[in-house]
Structure 1
């Protein structure tokens, strides 16, 4: 295994720590949005219950007054029924408000679906070594952003978790400069290696 200068190792640790901080921020944002989704679902259910009760009560009152109005407001000369325009406007306004709230909830649902998609997204890492046995400890548990994955019949050790292939390739170039001649970029999904990526 090649010799690593202390300054190069510190730079690698800094890069890995930066990536970990970004990942932690994204996880915090996802947790916050999940709380908002749960809260909005509860509010939506309560709101829907009250809306249904309100509409049923309004329908009952409207049918009662429609019967009374029909019998007392029938214009004998034109044979027309007089109805209240204000009540129709109130119903239209209420329907418009419900449509706006439904659009907002659709946006929240789209975010939740995007979060589920990102959890299953593939990541890129730079493999630096592989072993026959899995009892090799290359780094302390304090060092994060590393992968130790079984790829039959070997166990592979990779550094860094990157969202894009370009980021992983740049990190690989840094490793090559300090002596990791066998380093290559591989893609992973759900904790398993998918493929070895083209170095260019």
Structure 2
């Protein structure tokens, strides 16, 4: 069994403390984003309610004025009234389409954060392809949910793929070895930390 000097052990403890601080910051960011999502959802629902009320009120007003106009109450041309209501209806439809698009975008963001949170809680398997001493390598955005960039003292490891089963990860590792990543190996992760190195076959 290898011997670890006390100074190296102290450095490892410092690295663990730094990693915990980073994890806490990331959790705070996720909580903040979740609050923003909830706030956006409430605003979207309020705006949809106001738009619906506006649409119903506009239709009621249009039918009311059309009834008065047909009974001779107004000396106005009916075609002007119809053109005006169609234009406002198109504006409402355009606004509703924009709201639907914003809703879809917010749903994608929410799904991303839920997937990332799920991956941190469950045991997953990934194929590590490289390790670095420094954290100054920007291989991929952290927004990619199919990659892992994890601190495994004293190195930073870069892994590809998130698999539910060991067999899937082993199959993916074999494909990576076939294309030139000869040092690739399968590791299991839980709570954003490596649990162990798995059997490659």
Structure 2 distance, partners of 1:91, 1:17, is: 59
Tell me if 1:92 matches 2:71: no
SS in 2 for 1:3: coil
Higher RCO, 1 or 2 (CA under 8 Å, sep at least 6)?
1
Distance in 1 (CA, whole Å) between partners of 2:10 and 2:65 is 80
Mapping for residues 162-177 of structure 1, pairs under 5 Å: 164=148, 168=152, 171=155
Deviation of 1:64 after TM superposition, in Å, equals 1.5
How far 1:187 moved relative to its partner? 0.7
Asked if the contact 1:123–1:188 (Cα under 8 Å) also holds between the matched residues in 2, the reply is: yes
What's the TM-score, normalizing by structure 1? 0.56
Q: Mark the runs of 5 or more structure 2 residues left unpaired by the alignment.
A: 127-146, 158-184
Matches for 1:49-60 after TM superposition, within 5 Å: 49-60=49-60
Q: Which runs of 5+ in 1 are unaligned?
A: 125-162, 174-183
What is the CA distance between 1:94 and its match in structure 2? 2.5
Q: What is the count of residue pairs matched by the alignment?
A: 146
Following superposition, the deviation at residue 193 of structure 1 comes to 5.9
Contact 1:30-1:115 within 8 A present in 2 as well: yes
Q: Which residue of 2 aligns with 1:46?
A: 46
Q: CA deviation at 1:14?
A: 3.2
When Rg is computed on C-alpha atoms for both structures, the one with the higher figure is 1
For residue 3 of structure 2, give the secondary structure of its aligned residue in structure 1: coil
Identify the residue that residue 33 of structure 2 maps to in structure 1: 33
The CA distance in 2 between the partners of 1:66 and 1:106, in whole Å, is 37
CA shift at 1:83, angstroms? 3.1
Query: TM-score, structure 2 length as denominator?
Result: 0.56
Instruction: Verify the 8 A CA contact 2:188 2:198 in the aligned structure 1.
Output: yes
